[in-house]
Structure 1
Amino acid sequence: MTDGTSEVIRGAWLGAEGLEAVLEQDLQRRGVTIDRWHGQLALSRQPSVFSPWALDVWEAPEQVTIPSIKGAAKILRGYQRNWGLYAADFFRRAALIEENLPPIKTALLTFPTAAPTAPLGAWTLLTPDTMLFSARKSSPFINGAPKFVENRTGPPSRAYLKLWEACTLLRRWPQPGETCLDLGATPGGWTWAIAQLGADVTAIDRAPLDPAVAAMPHVQFQQGSAFGLEPASFPEVDWVFSDIIAYPARLLALARRWIESGRTRNMVLTVKFQGDTDHETVAAFEAIPGGSLRHLTHNKHELTFFWSQTAAEAEAPSVPAV
């Protein structure tokens, strides 16, 4: 379905604010040229492909001339119930269309909770009379952005939100009695989040943890370098976590060492970029069997790497498809 114009949009990717150029570079490496931007939505005449730098990938975009506000809503309802608006322009008209769609529950998430599985589409107005929409997209959240009930008193930093978002997308998190490592843990935002779940966590860092985190039940602290820790010298663990500041290539070597050791069943790491984006290392992370990369809402110039032994054995991505 098209609007009859010469421009037929077949690919759409929602970029994170300030990282639009990084998304465009990544898509170019995947053979996709961006024809134009609609706000933070990258549009192309080429089909959508996955990019870890996209907050949301519109997997099957369609373009249509809308006869009216109610007519636009009727078109969307003809596909499915749930739709999320991306508004970059024509805000009043878009809001009126949205009012004619079934409401979507947008309550803040209380962690731990799994990402929703109900089908969710995305739509936007390119002009007052031209709508772009996709019934399928990569994120289970509107505009790829989960919103949580935050804890503003317990954790020593807001980094815990990255771990919450990662586990929500993964639809799994450490359980009571499971063992975890937090590499490069200080000040302890991720350690705090893991301990809150009732799992046992050993925090590794050269610098001490925040005293309140160090005193929590289920928390042990081992002073030392995350990169100097040999997996073979440590008991097998259920999870390895890390939000450490490190060059991506160095973190890649650490991830490979732990995976090859067979000493962990799951891994969640933040890959942090300083200056230019190291696209070669991104590709190397993507090539790891059982691994997945995502740019989370709470990431900065970062990607989150997921890996699980189960996914590697099944030759499947660690983050399940929506």
Structure 2
Amino acid sequence: MHGMLAYCRPGFEGECAQELATEDARLLTGGFVRSKRDSGFVELILPDASAARQFAESVGWHGLTFARQLLRLRSRIDELPREDRLSVLMPAIRSNSHGYSDAWIESPDSDAARELAGLCRSLGNALVANLKRESLIDSSSPWRLHVCLIDAQTAFVAEAQTSRTSTWPGGIPRLRFPSAAPSRSTLKLEEALLMLLDSGERERWLKPGMTAVDLGAAPGGWTWQLVRRSMHVTAVDNGPMDQKLIDSGLLTHLREDGFRYRPPQPVDWLVCDMVEQPRKVAARMADWLAQGWCRHAIFNLKLPMKKRYDEVQICRSLIEDAASKAGKRIEWRARHLYHDREEITVFARAI
């Protein structure tokens, strides 16, 4: 079997499929997509090993919006025997030409597949033990083995280079809600900082003493993530802010319209989680980036019920066009986060 396997949020298989099909058309790899509503995964079927290798080497998980994880498919196995699944999985794994630094057995993030969590754990332990006995685990290998169970008797065998894939099983970082935060929306920004920035960027760009603006801040879920990093935040919202944030001494609360506010001087960060039409938010983000009012921005785009993929492209073009007119170009990273619903989260900066 030749192709790619992408995990996504259930209900967004169509958008994930559009994304993979767009990349396939760009690369002329001659594939087609298969998806099922609410399954939590999408297949891109490619004609041969050469096309699969080209796609895997040209398209990384980091550059996709709706795919939580992107893996290279090696085989699909149906009718796994319940009493000894490894007896069928191992021949498919041995047929690959290299060892693996690790092996994950996982399932998509669908209601049906989540019931397989216990089976994934027990089978994963047995699989790793088998791989070690056969000297197929090599800590220096750049490859990781993935076995995706879509039900108790059906599995995809896939693999990925660890440098080009998510470091979390299923592409989902498991975050705990911090009890001191004023709202659960804080998890969106925490996940965004983990998913959209690498460790070096977080160290360089999130330093104590930096300045930030939070548009539509109340009650302060996103502001809390910045204040806890000892950043000075201007929260712009007509609603009330959490008192503990006010008492921190790092917060200035302005009861103003986030779509009209302009900082008196450039700031290091702009963050925005306003519930508004995506193009209206994108237009305002375009102003901030093109005019140089912020150095980095993270914002949410609330998507419509239909043509969500197309809407993302329109919003991106709107921001890029504004930057181009100002003699700048935009670095754009977007992700449909685990803590997002009908929205995506974008990191952007003008360079």
Q: Which moved more, 1:127-136 or 1:205-214?
A: 127-136
CA 1:234–1:138: 2 relative to 1, 3 Å: farther
Identity fraction in percent = 22
Q: Post-superposition shift, 1:268?
A: 0.5
1:138 alignment partner, one of 165, 173, 176 = 165
Q: Where does residue 11 of structure 2 map in the other structure?
A: 18
CA 1:253–1:175: 2 relative to 1, 3 Å: same
1:234 alignment partner, one of 247, 264, 267 = 264
Q: Post-superposition shift, 1:77?
A: 10
- Take 1:306 and 1:202, find their aligned partners in 2: how far apart are those partners? 19
Q: Where does residue 317 of structure 1 map in the other structure?
A: none
For structure 1, which runs of at least 5 residues remain unmatched after alignment? 1-7, 104-117, 313-322
CA 1:177–1:218: 2 relative to 1, 3 Å: same
CA 1:21–1:156: 2 relative to 1, 3 Å: same
> Is residue 77–residue 101 contact of structure 1 (8 Å, CA) maintained in 2?
no
TM-score using structure 1 length: 0.76
- Take 2:206 and 2:183, find their aligned partners in 1: how far apart are those partners? 20
SS of alignment partner, residue 68 of structure 2: strand
Letter in 1 for 2:340: N
Q: Post-superposition shift, 1:222?
A: 0.9
- State the aligned residue count: 285
SS of alignment partner, residue 340 of structure 2: coil
- Take 1:43 and 1:80, find their aligned partners in 2: how far apart are those partners? 23
SS of alignment partner, residue 98 of structure 1: helix
Q: Where does residue 40 of structure 1 map in the other structure?
A: 40
Coordinate RMSD, CA, aligned = 3.2
CA 1:27–1:43: 2 relative to 1, 3 Å: same
CA 1:133–1:188: 2 relative to 1, 3 Å: same
SS of alignment partner, residue 99 of structure 2: coil
Q: Where does residue 231 of structure 2 map in the other structure?
A: 199
CA 1:213–1:94: 2 relative to 1, 3 Å: closer
Q: Does 1:256 align with 2:286?
A: yes
- Take 2:335 and 2:231, find their aligned partners in 1: how far apart are those partners? 24
Q: Where does residue 282 of structure 1 map in the other structure?
A: 312
Q: Does 1:291 align with 2:332?
A: yes
> Is residue 75–residue 156 contact of structure 2 (8 Å, CA) maintained in 1?
yes
- Take 1:261 and 1:229, find their aligned partners in 2: how far apart are those partners? 13
TM-score using structure 2 length: 0.70
Q: Does 1:220 align with 2:252?
A: yes
Letter in 2 for 1:203: A
Q: Where does residue 74 of structure 2 map in the other structure?
A: 62
Higher relative helix content:
2
